Amino acid sequence: MVEGVNYRKQRVPPFLRQSLAVSGVVLYMIGTGANIAFPGVLLQQLREPDSALQLTLEHESWIASILGLSLILGIATAPFSLQRLGRRLTNQLSTLPSMGGWALMVAAATPETLLISRTMQGFGMGLQAASAPVSIAEYSSPKLRGAFLATIAFSFATGMLIAHVFGTLLYWRSAGIACGSVYLLSFILVSLSPETPPYLASRGKFNQCRKSFRWLRGYYHDSEKELEVLLNSQKMEVTEVITGKSRLQNWVETAKKPEFYKPTLIMVFMFVMFQISGMTVVPSYTIPMMDEVTGRAIESNTSMLMVDVVRFVTSIMACVVVNKLNRRTVLFLGVIISVTSLFLAAVLLYLRDLGFITEEYRWIPVIPTLTYIFGKTLGILAIPWAIAGEVFPLAYRSLGSGISGMILSIMFFVVVKTAPTSFKEIGVNGTFLVYGICIAICGAFLYFLLPETKGKTLYEIECHFKGIKSDRADSGEKDKMLELETMEGG
């Protein structure tokens, strides 16, 4: 027993408290999914002859891709914000430019105004892209962390589905109001949650850390042991930081540490694979892509909603699968399904173009295409966000999340901006082949780089990258870590 602690049960169980803390971030990520997918319906409506705004093809590609550029600004700001202002305030601030962007879009009268509104949305998304996995991981207990982190994939899929449904049923301005309202709910829920315990401990606010930790995890014997491990490890970090070295020297030393560069390299490959798999291209250009895949045998909006439903149902499945199976198993299962399906869809499209598939069966490529959506949603969408919240040590979590997020945003812009040209020059079949090859290459590197993180505490993962065995950590920590798996509800 840890002395001085009253081991009492709370009226609200830890699971519900952690769910409340995570829900504000989850709602924001629903808004992110809507941001990414909204051009799929917005551009379709603006192509109508009587549209209030007339766009060129160049306008269209910039409206879909400019999120990637503005993401860079948000992500560049994120490490400072996460480290200086904290996770909670960063989450709150990230909702403001996003709400402003949707409001400006609803009132837009020119293409330039649309571009400005998308830029504001992207800046908020950049802050949140770095903050979301960190916040969810730090709010969650080890046994719930996988499921909570998998809700990021669910949130993306839900937001994309909402944007496409609203955009199909409503005029785009009305649909924008509905999508933008998600951020107001996010702001309210984030404001009801405390700051994360690891951040408070990293800033030397140990009493506030205890209060926040116990609010989230309850007063249980095993959770108190984890709390003491957290506090003791951060007390040592605070002591080590006071060295009198310059900031440049600290950065150089940080870059040489395996617990920093190994997770960073892993996340670079993760997020390159995430984007090159078509994760943001498909929702942005669903209708033209599916028109090509189905040979226009299926009505455009129907094929778009088919993709959204498969993605949505799979993301629900991923929340369960990620918490039950090893992270590596889920990731590489998704990689294998995605690569196989992309290659098969490309071959079928080539055969159809050559006349080997009759007009009656021209829709056949839709089967491997939907299988590809299933595979990438299950593994390539869900696992990178789960891993992003786990692999970085607390001392470098803000910086590492910022660097990997920067790669994510650059790839977002490059892949989405070049997609229309790629579809035009090499066709959807050629684009599928390129995506499949790139996924296979990234997956091969990750097979050798990525450790298993399921069921481990954040401190145990940090020890792995440092090359420290649990029995070489501070005296008694091994027994404490082993007992964390039996935590009650927390």
DSSP secondary structure string for all residues of 34-54: HHHHTHHHHHHHHTSTT-SS-
**Within a domain: 9:** no
Determine the pLDDT at residue 258: 85
Give the confidence band of 2 by pLDDT, cuts at 50, 70, 90: very low
Handedness of CA 66, 374, 186, 143 (dihedral sign): negative
Distance of alpha carbon 183 from alpha carbon 26, whole angstroms? 10
Q: Cα separation of 353 and 362, whole Å?
A: 10
Q: What is the pLDDT of residues 37-71, one digit of tens each?
A: 898 888 888 888 888 788 887 888 888 888 878 88
Tokens of 484: 């964390």
* pLDDT for the residue numbered 287: 85
482 pLDDT exceeds 50?
no
**Cα within 13 Å of Cα(426), Cβ side:** 11
In a domain, 7, yes or no: no
Q: Is residue 380 part of a domain?
A: yes
In a domain, 8, yes or no: no
Whether the pLDDT of residue 386 is over 90: the answer is: no
User: How many Å apart are CA 105 and CA 272, to the nearest integer?
Assistant: 29
135: in domain: yes
Residue 470's pLDDT is 52
Smallest CA-to-CA distance from 307 within 147, 165, 118 is with 165
- Taking residues 78-96, what's their average pLDDT? 91
The pLDDT confidence band at residue 4, using thresholds 50, 70 and 90, is very low
Q: What is the pLDDT of residues 184-196, one digit of tens each?
A: 999 999 999 999 9
The DSSP line for 315-345 is HHHHHHHHHHS-HHHHHHHHHHHHHHHHHHH
Is residue 4 included in any domain, yes or no? no
d(CA 229, CA 219): 15
Whether 256 is in a domain gets the answer yes
pLDDT value of position 137: 87
Domain count, the chain: 1
388: containing domain:
14-486
Task: Tell the residue number behind the tokens 């066709």, with chain if given.
Answer: 427
- Does residue 34 contact residue 162 with C-beta atoms inside 8 Å? yes
SS3 (DSSP) at 267: helix
CATH number at residue 37: 1.20.1250.20
* Exposure string over 131-151, b if 16+ CB within 10 A, otherwise e: bbbbbbbbbbbbbbbbbbbbb
Q: Is the CB of residue 306 less than 8 Å from the CB of residue 282?
A: no
Answer whether 285's CB lies under 8 Å from 353's CB: no
Rounded to an integer, what distance in angstroms lies between the CA atom of residue 85 and that of residue 253?
Answer: 24
C-alpha–C-alpha distance, residues 157 and 159, integer Å: 5
Which letter, b or e, does each residue of 285-311 get, where b requires 16 or more Cβ atoms within 10 Å of its Cβ?
bbbbbbbbbbbeebebbebbbbbbebb
Q: Is residue 1 in a domain?
A: no
